[in-house]
Structure formats: structure tokens, C-alpha cells
Homo-oligomer: A and B are copies of this chain.
Amino acid sequence: MRLLTLSIASLLVCAAAPQTDPALERAHKLAEKGMHELHAYAYLDQLVNGVGPRSAGSKGADKAVSWGLAKMKEIGLANVHEIPCMVHTWERGAAEKLTLKSNGKSTPLSCCALGNSIATAPNGLTAEVIEVRSDEELAALGVKAKGKIIFFNRPMNPALSNTFDAYGGAVGQRVNGAAAAARLGAVGVLVRSMTMAHDNVPHTGSMNYEKGVTQIPAAAVSLVAADRLSKTIKDNPQAMVTLKMHCRTLPDRPSASVAGEIPGTEAGRDIVVLGAHLDSWDITPGAHDDGAGVVQCLEAARLIKSLGWKPKRTMRFIFFMNEENGGEGAKAVFESMKGAGETVYAALESDSGGFAPRAFGASLDAEGVEALGPYMPALKLFGIERIDAKGRGGADIGPLAALGAKLFGLVPESQAYFDVHHSRKDTLASVNPRELQMGAHAMTMLSVLLANE
């Protein structure tokens, strides 16, 4: 691209000429301030590199709570406080080790324990491996599974253009694979990482045991490791792996979500909530998941305050604790708001990465979305092309529907999200400052419009 032929349409959209649409006028002011300052990225640096990994119950999580409180106070939010909860606490311990032995040759494979897994015996778990790609293939194994490690190797379907759909179609084996395999007498499970990035980095995530079913160790392997393992056991079904993991679940620990607010000018109106989750998995700086969401909410608060906007409804900013492995923060927030007799007009969540915004998903029907039509010119300035009816809000704000909330979830571009998700690659460097900021503006704009309805 050498020179530019500006279309007349784009020039008209961009001109700083006075706007007759007051929402669009606000949007231009927001863009003018926010895109020059790019403060969301500076906040993200603090959270991702200053605080670092912050899995629920860890010292990192405590540090994140303190950071969240301090930032909300620094911005000048009112009623900054913790919402306490007890959190499920799981520790990885020393690094995992997976070794493949075939025909006298020993090869290390890149892996990581899945969240909630038990450890192996100290000298490791050694067994033959059987690969399956579906529940049906597992069921067909029957007694053959006994004493084996089951290798769940179903890839995310790359043909799906929304990678969250591809994730949804593959993540069941990670969450429920161990219980299903244990029912057949398997002694451990390995799961292909939930990613389409073909490299040697493993991606963790939660798994669940079932009551009454033997608990067996569960680990994720990188795609390079998965492909090597698959090929090796095809060539030599007698190949063995040895898995060593040192993880453990500890008694629940006290932790907290963090909240602060901009009081509405019209008392008695119900609340507008902006939320994201403060915790991350232990092996990742959690830049996209969900540092991005946290700093977008924080930046929304900062921008509204510093632009001197006065919403009619109270706006509450909430950093939820332990979305990744229990959701206790969301439950405690819901209970405390319910206990206080609060009602929620709308709740917005950002937990799909800090990539360029494309849409909001909304818990509305087509008619409800149509009623938001007048907001679209202002939202389009920040990349929002549409509001999708019957979309998802997000895991943390979900319960607030019971307090009356319309739910909105920010939908950024999804192609690269699972390249980094739940892995050590989810770093500040994987985030573009402008894309992150545009998401903060989309959240700011929609929430302010809703707060003034």
C-alpha cells in the first residue's frame, strides 16, 4: 500500500465537524482522549508484568486484589470495596514431566497439568496409551481402557470461523475426559491442548472429577507433542509414557472480588455493571484472559470520570475472582447484591480477549436489539458492527440476569485468541494497544448509553 485514496464516505465519518447525534458527539470525545492516551495498555502492563500470574488462592491473586483496589481509588471511584469469597485453591507444584518411550528411545513431550488434577505417584505414572477422538471411540474401548492412559486427541475444528465455537466443540474432552476414562478403568489422561497454534506450548484449563468415580491424573499436551504421540503409538502400540505431576488441591482460601462505582445522578434507578475477571491460570500472565477485560473496565471508569460524564444510573465496576476455577466471585457478588435488594439494569462483560472489537452479544431478542439501533453510529466508531440477539453475556455477569439485568458480552475478533489462551504465550506483547483501547471504548460507550436510558 503506497498512497491512499480516501473515499468520500470515510472522510465524512471521520471529519471532526459538529455532530447532531449526541451519542456520536460523545463517542468522538471519547476517541479523542482515549486513543491519544492508550491508558488501557499501561494498566495492562501493570497487571500482567507487575502483578503477573494470579490463580485463585495464590499470592498473585492477593496482589491483584490489592492492585485493583488501589487503581479504583486512584481513579476516584466511590464505594471501593472487596466482596469476599472462599475460593477453590489448586497448586501445580514442581514442573510436570512427560516422557515417551518407544523402541528403546526416550523423548520428552511438552505438557502441563490440567487445573484440579491430582498428582501422579512421586516416581510417575507409566502406562501404554490409547488415542480416542470422541465419546463414541472411548465407549467402544470397553475393557481395553483398563490400566491405560487415554489420549484425547480431537482437534478444535478449524473450519468454524468463530474459534469459540471450535473451542466449544472440543473442550468437553478436557473437562470431562478424566472421569469418563476412569469409569473404564483408565489410569490417566492426556488431552490435546485447546488451541489451533501448531507449536510446542501446552495450554491448561479446568477439568472436573465426578463423585464416586476414581480420580486419575490429567494433563494437556502441546500440538507438537500430540502429533508425535499420535504417530508413535500408531507405529508402536506398545510405546509407553511416564507422566510426573506434583499438583494438589488445598483447602479453600479466603479471597475477594473488587468493586467500585460512579454514583448515578438519579437515585433509585437500578445499576449498570461492567465486569471482567481478575484471576488467571497459574502458568500465564493472562494478558488477553482476562487482563484485557479488567483494564478495559478500569479504563472505562477512568474515562467517564475524567470526561466529567454524569450517568443517571449508578455504574459499578467489578473485578471478579476465580472465574477460571470455581466462579465463587460471581456467586458472592450476586448474593451480596441480592441481599442488598439491588436491581441491575444492564451488565456488560469483557472476557473474550483484547483483540479488535467486532460486536456485542446480548441476551435480547431481535426486537430488543433493534431498539438499540440509535446507538450503532456511536458504537461503530469503536469497531462494533452489530449487536447479536440471543448472544452470551459472560460467565461472571450471568447470575445478574436474575436481578433484572440485560446481559452484554464484548465480542472481539476471535482468530488468534486460542493461540495464546491459558498458556505462557498470553503476554502483553500479544496485545495491540489500539485494539485493546477500542474495546475499552466500546464498553464505555454502550454502558454510558444504557446508564442514561
Binding site for B on A (CB under 8 A): 1-11, 14, 28, 31-32, 35-36, 38, 158-165, 167-168, 171, 175, 196, 205-206, 289-290, 323-325, 327, 351-353, 356, 358, 361, 381-383, 385-386, 388-392, 395, 398, 413, 415-417, 419, 421, 432, 434-435, 438
Q: How many copies does the complex hold?
A: 2
Closest-by-CB residue of B relative to A172 is B3
Contact of A32 among B159, B165, B323, B416 (CB under 8 A): B159
Closest-by-CB residue of B relative to A168 is B4
Q: Is there an interface contact between A391 and B7, defined as CB atoms closer than 8 Å?
A: yes
Contact of A434 among B167, B196, B205 (CB under 8 A): B196
Nearest CB in chain B: distance from A133 CB, A: 15
Q: Measured between alpha carbons, how far is A290 from B383 in the docked complex, in Å?
A: 24
Q: Is there an interface contact between A415 and B390, defined as CB atoms closer than 8 Å?
A: no
Q: Is there an interface contact between B323 and A2, defined as CB atoms closer than 8 Å?
A: yes
Q: Is there an interface contact between A159 and B31, defined as CB atoms closer than 8 Å?
A: yes
Closest-by-CB residue of B relative to A383 is B161
Residues of B close to A398: CB separation below 8 A: 5
What are 13 contact pairs spanning A and B, CB under 8 A? A1-B164, A2-B327, A4-B168, A11-B165, A14-B165, A28-B159, A32-B159, A161-B438, A163-B434, A196-B434, A356-B413, A415-B435, A416-B435
Q: Is there an interface contact between A324 and B159, defined as CB atoms closer than 8 Å?
A: no
- Main SS of the interface on chain A? loop
With A6-B165, A382-B161, A434-B158: A352-B1 Cβ-Cβ less than 8 Å = yes
Q: Measured between alpha carbons, how far is A188 from B168 in the docked complex, in Å?
A: 58
Q: Is there an interface contact between B1 and A31, defined as CB atoms closer than 8 Å?
A: no
Residues of B close to A413: CB separation below 8 A: 356, 413, 435
Q: Is there an interface contact between B4 and A167, defined as CB atoms closer than 8 Å?
A: yes
Q: Measured between alpha carbons, how far is A206 from B163 in the docked complex, in Å?
A: 39
Q: Is there an interface contact between A9 and B390, defined as CB atoms closer than 8 Å?
A: yes
Closest-by-CB residue of B relative to A36 is B158
Q: Is there an interface contact between A9 and B165, defined as CB atoms closer than 8 Å?
A: no
Closest-by-CB residue of B relative to A417 is B1
Residues of B close to A351: CB separation below 8 A: 1
Q: Is there an interface contact between A415 and B356, defined as CB atoms closer than 8 Å?
A: yes
- Add 14 more A-B contacts to A31-B160, A356-B415 (CB < 8 A): A1-B323, A1-B351, A2-B324, A2-B325, A3-B206, A4-B168, A9-B388, A10-B391, A35-B158, A38-B158, A161-B438, A385-B385, A415-B434, A416-B434
